[in-house]
Amino acid sequence: MEKAVVRHYVNRGGQLPVKPTIIPGFDADTDVLIIDEPELSRKDLVFEQDGDNTLVRLADSFMILASLENVDAIDLDPLPFLKELYKALQENDIEEILSFLAEDVLWEMGGPQDLIPWAGAWDGKAGVRQFFQLQKEGLAFEKLNPTRFVAQGNTVAVVLEGSGEARTGKAFSGSVVHWVIVKNGRISQLQCYRDTFPIIEAMQGGRPFTIAANGFGSAHYTNKSVTSPRTTDSIVFDEAIFDNAPATVKSARAMYGALQGFKPEDIRKAFAPSVVWHMFGPRDIIAWSGERIGPIAAVESAKQIIETMRFDRFKAVRMLYQDNVAAVLIDEPGVSKASGLPFHTSVVHIVVVNEDGKVASIHNHVNTAEIVEAFLGGRPYTVN
């Protein structure tokens, strides 16, 4: 049974505590610490390790608000920790990367495992080491540059710009999202969401190329859904947030509601006049892919999706939000209407909302390799 959210309170009487509130049993995956001071923000807090416990204090004083027993401070403030990880990743320092991981870490990347051998689920540090070894054998190099962190408690969506070169000499590029969960001061799970089709194309030496018949679907790995009963940050300053979603969440929900029922007028209302709608994939094969500017072009792309794909479900399983940005994790199994062949993808949308509450941009981080295969009628298929 999934654990319910547990709320821990500090300063319910309207005054800061003289002595720190001692909080045992705090679970960074699910629990929320409510500090009853709406004028404060995370920037006003410092999280300090004190033996096995984490002290929460005001940044401009020595006043300690709470002591969380048997909690690692990194679980409450993972960004400095993760920024060091990405320095090691940029330097391709595998031993340093492994030092950030839990012994039982789960590392996942969606994609066709027979075409991209490092796609799949990798258990433990030994599995992650194998992931990097297989990647090294397939690629001459890859660079990942983090451009945005969307953090909510111990879960962070990291947006990266990726580029690299296959052993064939062909280059590839594209945006990537890492969905990262930190537990007990180490990374317990990392999922990679990216379009692997450009990597496949580069590894095949560019177009034209043919993919042999190895059995449709059997080798495609889909990242497992990551859910949580906690929909807010692990630190909340106003309890009303549990019943009143912030503007960013409301705007994102309005857009998804309009898209699910395909209500063109409501979709257009959800978008800013110059909205950037970017769906991954090769545009000559998948008509709805590519970047579109403006509500009319975005609606046309959404219409093409509905006309060419039938979804068994379109389920947002988790949303992280920070300020005006939401990272939305979606599970999408379905069928290509053209061929009748199935596909199953997991997706991360990065949604940016403007000051008027309109969606200013949405970038769809989806592995389209299996969708391309379904659209082309399964294996063998040729890309010209």
Residues 6+ apart with CB under 8 A from 261: none
Residues facing 67 on adjacent strands: 22, 55
Q: Per CATH, is 239-383 categorized as 3.10.450.50?
A: yes
Instruction: Please write the tens of the pLDDT for every residue from 274-287.
Output: 999 999 999 999 99
Query: Do 158 and 180 touch, CB atoms closer than 8 A?
Result: yes
Tokens of 294: 């403006």
**What's the CA dihedral at 352, 355, 356, 360 to 10 degrees?**
-20
pLDDT, residue 2, reads 40
Decide: residue 271, CB within 10 A, 0-12 exposed, 13-18 middle, 19+ buried: buried
Count the neighbouring beta carbons within 10 Å of the beta carbon of residue 83.
Answer: 12
Instruction: Please write the tens of the pLDDT for every residue from 53-103.
Output: 999 999 988 889 999 999 999 999 999 999 999 999 999 999 999 999 999
Stretch (H or E) spanning 300: helix 295-308
Instruction: Please write the tens of the pLDDT for every residue from 149-199.
Output: 999 999 999 999 999 999 999 999 999 999 999 999 999 999 999 999 999
- Is residue 21 over pLDDT 70? yes
Name the CATH topology of 79-221: Nuclear Transport Factor 2; Chain: A, (3.10.450)
Count the neighbouring beta carbons within 10 Å of the beta carbon of residue 180.
Answer: 23
Q: What angle do CA 220, 223, 227 make, to 5 degrees?
A: 155
pLDDT, residue 60, reads 87
Residues 6+ apart with CB under 8 A from 162: 142, 143, 144, 145, 173, 174, 175, 176, 194
* Spatial separation of the C-alpha atoms in residues 28 and 20, rounded to whole Å: 19
Average pLDDT over residues 342-350: 94
| Percent of the chain whose predicted confidence (pLDDT) is above 90 | 85
What Cα–Cα distance (Å) separates residue 341 from each residue in 181, 288, 351, 379? 33, 18, 30, 11
pLDDT, residue 230, reads 87
pLDDT, residue 188, reads 98
pLDDT, residue 214, reads 73
| Percent of the chain whose predicted confidence (pLDDT) is above 70 | 96
* Spatial separation of the C-alpha atoms in residues 286 and 66, rounded to whole Å: 53
Of the pLDDT bands very low, low, confident and very high (cuts 50, 70, 90), residue 217 is low
pTM to 2 decimals? Answer: 0.95
* Spatial separation of the C-alpha atoms in residues 134 and 138, rounded to whole Å: 6
Query: Do 345 and 109 touch, CB atoms closer than 8 A?
Result: no
Instruction: Please write the tens of the pLDDT for every residue from 113-136.
Output: 999 999 999 999 999 999 999 999
- Is residue 1 over pLDDT 50? no
- Check for a shared fold between 79-221 and 239-383: yes
- pLDDT, greater one: 231 or 149: 149
Count the neighbouring beta carbons within 10 Å of the beta carbon of residue 277.
Answer: 23
Torsion over CA: 80, 81, 84, 86 (sign): negative
**For tokens 């010209």, what's the residue?**
384
Average pLDDT over residues 321-342: 95
The helix/strand/coil state of 10 is: strand
- Extents of the domains making up the chain: 7-71, 79-221, 239-383
Name the average pLDDT for the chain.
93
